[in-house]
Amino acid sequence: MPKMNERKMKILEAVISDYIVSAEPIGSRTIAKKYDFGLSSATIRNEMSDLEEMGYVVALHASSGRVPSNKGYRLYVDNVMKKRRLSASERELLTQALQNESGKMDNIMREIAQAVSHITNYTIIATEPLAKSHKIRQIQLIIIEGPIVAVVIITDQNAVKNKVVVMPNVMTQGLIRRVSEALTMLLQDSVAEDFNQIYAGMMRHRFKEMGLEDVSVDTIFAAIREALYAANITQIHTIGIKRILDFPEFSDLEKARAIVGTLEEKENLYALLGGIDDGNVQIVIGEENENTGLKDCSVIRAKISVNNHMTGNIAIIGPTRMDYAQVMSVLQTVLSTFGIE
């Protein structure tokens, strides 16, 4: 078995770099003309044959050039790939996405996902920043019409969630205001896990004195609980799902169906975005993907921590010949913005 050396590494890098751009098998003559390696076409051809024997490149046809294998991509990203500087326009797009006001944190991962998809032209899956457990900061009841009331909660992470309910009786504006104030005092700083204890110990006579019957209290309380749980449910953003079909690798209908079908299932997306360590960028190549629907794709994933406890996960999905250096540069820029090197 041939041994890997610096010359072979340079040729492998050239094959991968050219194939990422062209999506066409790379021949020895192309490399000899384009790269100043000081090697003849015949020598490069012999080295490529060795790389094929070692499993780093594959010849699709006997007379064609070579394309990288998953093993070749793995060696490239782990040992060969160089850092790439983002262009001024790419940095500007990211800067705009990352300069969200703190009060709009629910949208920041969507903004980042859209910017990353625009820069890379890949499909992006992201979850919004999520506190492990939102705490209630304020509760407000709003009359919509007649007995229809919106129960609104605002959390310590500036998430706003609401639940519309039909009350047993029409409530006056004065009663709505007093009940809102009382509920805020009772439930401020509580989390979803506290509800059973608070509910059991609640002084119902206080609300009765305001003119609110038990059934109305139960209706409002159930709405608050549901709204708070909703604040703790991760929302998934899928950006550019059709972009992956623009790559020639996926012109095959069966491959395209497998990928799109995988990305349309929420359970697959939760699994895809799970198990990511803080601050680390993970690269999963081809058949390394646990989901067989993505065996022809590479996935680059990262967790982004905001304010030390709010986290959003992001995954960039493209063909195995994706521009790994570009995606890594984009993600490192995002991570460094939040103080993660």
CATH of the domain at 174: 3.30.390
Last residue of a domain, one of 44, 59, 80: 80
Alpha carbons 235 and 150: distance in angstroms, whole number: 22
Give pLDDT, residue 96: 78
Do residues 226 and 239 both lie within one domain? no
Specify if 1 maps to a domain.
Answer: no
Beta bridge partners of 148: 145, 166
75 and 22 inside one domain = yes
pTM of the model: 0.71
pLDDT given for residue 102 in this prediction: 43
Residue 69 and residue 93 in one domain: no
- Tell me: do 241 and 331 sit in the same domain: yes
Which among 56, 80, 104 is the end of a domain? Answer: 80
H or E stretch covering 217: helix 214-231
Please give the helix or strand (H or E) that residue 148 lies within, else none: strand 148-155
Distance (Å, whole) CA 5 – CA 63: 26
Q: In this structure, what token pair is assigned to residue 192?
A: 């979803």
- If asked whether residues 181 and 97 sit together in one domain, one would say no
Per-residue pLDDT of the chain (341 residues; tens, 9 = 90+): 788 899 999 999 999 999 999 999 999 999 999 998 989 999 999 999 999 999 999 998 766 789 999 999 999 999 999 888 888 888 888 887 777 544 455 577 888 889 899 999 999 999 876 656 788 999 999 999 999 999 999 998 888 889 999 999 899 999 999 999 999 998 999 887 787 778 777 777 778 888 888 888 889 988 998 888 777 767 788 999 889 889 998 988 888 888 988 988 877 888 888 777 666 789 999 999 988 889 999 999 988 776 555 677 899 999 999 999 999 999 888 887 765 44
Q: Assess whether 102 and 146 both reside in one domain.
A: no
Distances (CA, A) of 337 to 1, 13, 150: 46, 30, 38
Asked if residue 196 and residue 67 are part of one domain, the reply reads no
Decide which of 231, 247, 272 is a domain's last residue: 231
Give domain status of residue 103, yes or no.
yes
pLDDT of residue 137: 94
Which CATH number goes with the domain that contains 69?
1.10.10.10
Rounded Cα gap, residues 288 and 294, in angstroms: 9
The number of domains in the chain is: 3
What values do phi and psi take at 248, rounded to 5? -60, -25
- 239 and 226 belong to one structural domain: no
Task: Give the domain extent around 115.
Answer: 88-130+235-337
Tell me if 26 is assigned to some domain.
yes
Instruction: Round to whole Å and give the CA distance between 68 and 4.
Output: 15
Residues 156 and 213 in one domain: yes
140 shares its domain with 61: no
Instruction: Let me know whether 325 and 192 are in one domain.
Output: no
Using CA atoms, how far apart are residues 23 and 1, in angstroms rounded to an integer?
A: 28
Examine the domain organization and report whether 173 and 149 are in the same domain.
yes
